[in-house]
Amino acid sequence: MVILSIGLHPSAVDYSRYPHIDEATLTARIAAGEDALRAAGFAFTSLQVVADADAAERDVRALGGSYAAAVIGAGVRMAPEHTALFERLVNTLTEVHPGIRLYFNTSPESTVDAFRRARG
């Protein structure tokens, strides 16, 4: 099973809300999380979206393929200013991939745990 991993692109994060992190650090954490997924044997497609719901919807629709599960990152779903983006992603995913199961991480480091839940 190939799992879709959706997260906010590091360039789209408002770092003023997170003074302990910067774009380079977040980019490295995401890369390390993806390395952990590969090391654990997961097949996945990574989609980093901008903070624009219309653009994110276009990106999801353009992916093609079939996904039974998706992991949506904390950056998309936990920041109040991204509520509309999160809703659009959920609605588009369930429309384009009927029956898709959704899972959530709390950080790039916890993505592998979300993938394990998705795999069952």
Q: Write out the two tokens for 88.
A: 């659009």
pTM of the predicted structure, to 2 decimals: 0.93
CATH number of 2-119: 3.40.50
Q: What's the gap between Cα 69 and its chain centre? A: 11
Q: Look at residue 55 in the predicted model and tell me its pLDDT.
A: 98
Mean pLDDT, range 23-36, rounded to an integer: 96
Q: Residues 45-92: pLDDT tens digits?
A: 999 999 999 999 999 999 988 999 999 999 999 999 999 999 999 999
The mean pLDDT value of the chain amounts to 96
Is the confidence at residue 28, as pLDDT, over 90?
A: yes
Is the confidence at residue 1, as pLDDT, over 90?
A: no
Q: Look at residue 120 in the predicted model and tell me its pLDDT.
A: 85
Q: Look at residue 64 in the predicted model and tell me its pLDDT.
A: 85
Ordered by start, the domain boundaries in the chain are: 2-119
Backbone angles phi and psi of 40, in degrees to 5: -85, 0
Strand 2-8: give its sheet, edge to edge: 43-49, 2-8, 69-72, 101-104
